[in-house]
Amino acid sequence: MFEKRFTYPFCYTPDDEIIRASERLIAHIVTSTELHGIFAEGKMMGVLMVRDAEGNESFLYGFSGLAGGKSIVDGFVPPIFDLTEPDGYFKREEAAISALNSRIRHLEETDPAAAAALKAERKTRSTALQEWLFKQYVVLNALGERKSILEIFAERGLVPPGGTGDCAAPKLLQYAYLHGLKPLAMGEFWYGASPEKEVRHQGCFYPSCTGKCGPLLAFMLQGLDVEPNPLEQDSPAGEQNYSILYEDDSIIVADKPSGMLAVPGRTLKVSLQERLQRRSPGTDIRACHRLDMDTSGIIVFAKGTDNLAILQQQFEKHEVDKSYIAKLIPGPHLDAKGRISLPLLLDFDDRPRQMVDFEDGKQAVTDWELLEELPDGSALVRFTPLTGRTHQLRVHAAHPLGLGRPIAGDRLYGGGSGRLCLHAATLTFTHPRTGERMSFTSEIPWN
């Protein structure tokens, strides 16, 4: 009998039972002309393992949004609220608002004042319709409590983003609660073609989105024994799991382990900067650049604000040379080397995930070189970033317009579980006091 704590949906390794259930679902969709037809365009799917009052365990399946324009598909849980009913208030009001658009276009040339009035009416009616909609989405939690999505977000001083409540996870939990089923474990994975902006690979699991599902799932999971947030768990055993590569009166060059924050963050984890500060309580120690928490490797810290300013200026002027070694999961064939240039933008509904956006993104450029194809189909690659965008290497590795092969262990971008196999392997910079050019190398810490 399954007796683990329930899945923490925003950072998790899916249970084996969930993985096998997802594989069965994918096999079923692939062999069904109808299902493959409505899901092939690309859809986030969900699996929820549940137990009934008699102790029988089973699986529920769900999908996010609509599938082929349908909200209800046999074999999948229904929506929390079906806004596709053709004679429902939502569809009637939506059609009335859409009708205003053609009137506005006609009046913009002949009567600008009347067009402006209709635009104001359209905005008012759209806002009112969205508010009405979120009042219809009334959800449950394991304590038997009920709240509308509007209430849940209002308690945090927030307005729900469009589409809130239509993701797979809240649909699955709602169905379980309504039918007296106890949720045991959950996972969300992608099926079908990858979207243009976000990084999605078929069969890969992804954490729940933070913008739409963050407040919503926080309410719906109340009453369940949920796994702790791994991002907030610190390991005392890891306190000494870093090494000093070089230190003098001006700088510290350290080798940071995966899972340790480089600088103080919002979690309870103790950062490497704080650990170094404890060693020298009378010295102001600051990181000159950043490494993601899950990225290991070389990072330089300055002692004092003057040294910090000099080193940061080197980074800003691209006078620092650095390279990373990454292990990529099996996937498309790779050439010997190349350059990736894709503009990145924060996904505001799903922080800290980044996406490719050719209209509003900031250009990110990475040179890469294939080092070795491994027997298991994975590959070792050297990355040389020419810009320094957040998650640049992770997105460039995973996105179909990049290498199309996520970094192993990258939960955010489809690389599976385990440690993130991304390592800052080399760093070359000029010493802020002596003017000496200094180079450091660190060996990759995984087998």
Give the active site residues. 292
Structure tokens at 374: 């491994």
Question: Are the C-beta atoms of residues 402 and 373 closer than 8 Å to each other?
Answer: no
State the DSSP code for 100: H
**Residue 278, SS3?**
helix
314: number of Cβ within 10 Å: 16
Residue 79 has, within 13 A of its CA and on its CB side, a CA count of 20
- Give start and end residues of each alpha helix (H) in 76-166: 89-110, 112-136, 149-154
CB 285 within 8 A of CB 301: yes
CB-CB contact of 226 with 232 (8 Å): no
| Residue 422 Cα distances to 248, 296, 406, angstroms | 28, 7, 11
Return d(Cα 54, Cα 429) in angstroms, integer. Answer: 65
Contact (Cβ atoms closer than 8 angstroms) between residue 414 and residue 422: no
Q: Please tell me the distance from the alpha carbon of residue 84 to that of residue 68, in angstroms, as a whole number.
A: 12
98 is written with which tokens? 């859409």
* 3-state class percentages of the chain: helix first, strand second, coil last, to nearest 5: 30, 25, 45
Q: Dihedral angle at the C-alpha atoms of 155, 173, 166, 34, nearest 10 degrees?
A: 180
| Chain-centre distance for alpha carbon 244 | 32
First to last CA, the chain: 35
Q: Are 246 and 253 in contact (CB under 8 A)?
A: yes
Contact 386, 395 (CB under 8 A): no
Number of helices and strands in the chain (H, E):
10, 17
**Could you tell me which of 105, 106, 102, 100 has the C-alpha nearest to residue 118?**
100
The rounded radius of gyration (Å) of the Cα atoms in the chain is 25
Would you say 383 and 366 are in contact if contact means Cβ atoms under 8 Å apart?
yes
CA distance linking residue 44 with residue 63, whole number of Å: 6
